[in-house]
Every structure is written in structure tokens, then in C-alpha cells.
Amino acid sequence: MIKKTRAEITKCILHKVANKFNSGKNVFSEDLIRFDQESYDLMKSFLLKPFGTLTQSYRFSHHADVRLNELNNYASEIFKEENSFIEYSKNIVNHLYEQSNSAQIKTGDVLIVLIEGIEYKDVLTEAIGVFKIENKIDFFQTYLDDNKSFDMVVQKGISTKRIDKGCLILNTSDTEGTIVLSVDNNNYDAQYWIKDFLSIKLADDYNSHTQNYLEMCKEFSEEVIKPELGMQQQGNFLANTVDYFKENEAVDYATFKDEVFEDEKHKEQFDTYKKHFETLNDVLIRNNFDVSGVVLKKEKNKLKTEIKLDTNISIKLDVDAPEAASEYLERGYDEEKKMKFYKVFFNEEK
């Protein structure tokens, strides 16, 4: 999504965010971080690497006026006057603090950076990055003691393998508004980062259309198919959904229903659920859109097609094999044992 070849971190500051639910207090820095070359190179790669492969982007939202969105407002002020960077970085942390309304929201370090030379869709621009470090790792630090012998002690530090939460607010926009990129590798509370703190929504493009449709199908399988027809048919529906998206460059809502559902009853249930999903999530599910292969690959890995039984046995269905659940798996009832059963057909074990 972005290119970082010419990117430079021009300002960076570190604050600590507490948890309002536990009556904690934020701790603020007053000065910018000054890097040596080695730590600068490592930091730039650490912060920007996750955004190099992102295909989906977001836009700021607000129920009344998007100009009242806190992050949108703070970013705009920093872009207009860089000397306000430290002041508004504290406002950003205070806003993050206000969203910690439960005990499970983690405290942590917050890095806020100003980056120049970010390339997005062939446009060179600047960006404000907000990164929250929620987890630290143990590592051994060696040292020379007073007896001139080496010893070691366990310390905690930030792992450079991946960031926990982060966003880039670009100083560029399209017809939908300011472009925002976001990652969340600790999405224990999906509302907290995306909706409460950033208050952003997916851009209205084929990436978001693909994701919204697949999420709707996943929820439909869980709330309608599974209770009514069982986990085997749930897995079969999800596999057929993935197969349709793989076989078609574009989705047509009517054609999708004809290929995935055998009877009119489930088509009508799907129509009803679509309206429910749109209202509940404040999204519009498009009836026609191009398929995003990248999003399909990512989202299909989230689809659960495992049949878990109360006898401590699980049957995992391959979401990429839509015919498997119907052709090689039979469900029945044993009168003698008074138990349900699955019969699995195969040629050889792998």
C-alpha cells in the first residue's frame, strides 16, 4: 500500500497511556526522541513494515461532522503547524486514554511520529503515525560486574518483530476524506482501536465490499445455518461461498444466492439477514462488486469450518473444498447407542 524508500522520521515522541477504568494516570514526555543511526534504522523499519502490504484503507467518520473527529482534528493541526507536534501528541494519548472503559484494555507505551516522504499511490506525502506497544518481552542483558566477571539479568523490552497497534494518517485525501491505514495485531477488543479511538470506516472500494460480504456470510452461517442445519451444513455453506468468490471476478448477489442455496427458504433468510447486518454494522452490502483476491485470501483464513463434538473429537473441513462436506461426510443417528454420528469416507490417511 505504501512505499517507504524515501520515508524519514522527522519527529518522534514517547508517552505512556494508562487505563481509565483502573484510575491510572498518563505519563508524558516533554522532549522528542533523538536517535543514533542504528536505532533510527531499526525504528523506521519496525514502524513502517506492517503497512507495506496493506491493501485496505480507512476514512475518518463522525456521527455529526467528520471535522469533529478527534484524530482527524489533531492530525490536521499538526500538518498545518509542526511546532504543535508535542502538544497534540499529548492530546492524542489523552483521547486514547478516554477509550479505556474496561479492565481488559491494556496500558502501554505510545509512540507518535511525523514521517515525511511516504509514497501512496504514486503520491509523495507526509504522515502522522500512532503506535501503541501493549506487550513487552523478556530478554537477558549481560554486563561486567565489579569483580570483572560477566553476569546477566532479565529485563523487559519492546520486540521488533511486530507492532501491537498502529495507524498512519496520511496528509492526502480523496473524495471520501483523509486516508488512514491501520493494523491491530492484538485485536482483543475490535471496538477499542478502530471504532472508539480512531473512529474510522473502510473506504468504499472493492476491498471493503469483499470483506463486508464475507463477514456477512460468516455471521449468517453462525446465526442461521448452524442452529438450523448443523455444523456440517455451516461448513458446506462457507466452502461454497469461498468457491464462488474464487471462481468469479465479480459478485452478483442474485447469482450468488442461486449457486449457494438450494431452496427459496434460505434465499429469503439471506435477504432478511442482509438487511439486519447492514443496520447492525452501519454498512451497505453491494449487490454487484469486483472481488479482491487479497482480501479473499485473508478473510477465508478466518472462516471456522471445524465440527467440534462433545466426545472430544473434531472434524476439520477444508474451506477450499466445497464438495468434501457433502460427498465424503454423512450424518446419522445410531438407535442402539442413542447417539448421533458422522461417517467419513476416504481412500488413504495422509
Q: How far apart are CA 157 and CA 316, in angstroms?
A: 38
What was the pLDDT predicted at 147?
84
Across the chain, mean pLDDT equals 91
Residues with Cβ within 8 Å of residue 302, at least 6 apart in sequence: 218
Q: Residue for cell digits 522532549?
A: 31
Q: What is the pTM of this model?
A: 0.78
The grid coordinates of residue 90 equal: 499529548
CB 293 within 8 A of CB 322: no
Q: How far apart are CA 157 and CA 135, in angstroms?
A: 9
What counts of helices (H) and strands (E) characterise the chain?
Answer: 11, 16
Residues with Cβ within 8 Å of residue 99, at least 6 apart in sequence: 105, 192, 196, 197
For residue 301, is pLDDT > 90? Answer: no
What was the pLDDT predicted at 37?
95
What was the pLDDT predicted at 258?
95
What was the pLDDT predicted at 25?
94
For residue 267, is pLDDT > 90? Answer: yes
What was the pLDDT predicted at 245?
95
Q: pLDDT tens for residues 120-140?
A: 988 999 999 999 999 999 989
For residue 291, is pLDDT > 90? Answer: yes
